[in-house]
Amino acid sequence: MTANGSSVREVALVTGAASGIGRAVAGALVRRGASVALVDRAQDALRAVADELTEDGGRVLAIAADVTQEDLVAGAVDRTVDELGPLCTTVTCAGIAILGSVLDLSLQQWRATLDVNLTATFLAARYAVPKMVQAGGGTFTAIASDAGVQGAPGYAAYCASKHGVVGLVRTMALDHGPQGVRSNAVCPGFVETPMADQIFAEGTPEDRAFYESTVPLGRFAAPEEVASAVLHLSSAEASYANGLLYNLDGGSTAGYFEPPR
């Protein structure tokens, strides 16, 4: 069953599939019955995920590729269609976080952040959307961030890149909705992933506890919770969702919140 409700088996492509949110999304799609192309530049981790999902009965295709390289993204999309079938679900999860203000960041760090977080999303859309149109429609879901809907001190490049993802997805909804492709973004706050671990690696347990306390629900999200949002947006149950920002942040962006004392 595809995301559009037809009886043809769903074919999905997930970037950043070797860890964190991407790994959880890939697993959730496999459990839904989809054939999934896993795209990531971390070859060993990618193979481990592919082996795990295959052992669980999934039909997966592991594609080692740098999602910032146009020819590799184009090749990954073509290979997905050639080996798995018509593409109807695309999820972009690849991302990095390099902290710093505009005074702290080097131009190289700025470009690296925008390349992975924003340009890679554009490239996936550039090559996946025509395939989904050819297949009769589909869904494009980008993992943005709460940093895509509000600023955050010390996250200049990250916020700029994620705001860009939000603007890109909204425009795609207008451009490609008439062609049968729904485009949406999930905007999580902190998620229990290797990226979050890296961000807090140089701090203290108290630093992490403070950020958890600023979330009305009192904790960070699990990757599986983000995957659940992606499953909904890419399903027939969300058939009228297009250009939606799914703020999955425990209430952090709902308004001013004073942590309990």
Q: Which residues are catalytic?
A: 158
Please tell me the distance from the alpha carbon of residue 221 to that of residue 143, in angstroms, as a whole number: 14
User: Where would I find the beta strands (DSSP E) of 54-206?
Assistant: 59-64, 89-92, 138-143, 181-188
Please tell me the distance from the alpha carbon of residue 162 to that of residue 55, in angstroms, as a whole number: 35
- Quote the tokens at residue 15: 């970037």
For residues 206-238, one letter each, b for 16 or more C-beta atoms within 10 angstroms of the residue's C-beta and e for the rest, the string is: eebeebeeebeeeebbebebbbbbbbebbbeeb
Tell the burial category of 110 from Cβ atoms under 10 Å away from its Cβ (0-12, 13-18, 19+): middle
Please tell me the distance from the alpha carbon of residue 140 to that of residue 244, in angstroms, as a whole number: 11
Spatial neighbors of 133 by CB under 8 A, at least 6 apart, are: 176, 179, 180, 181
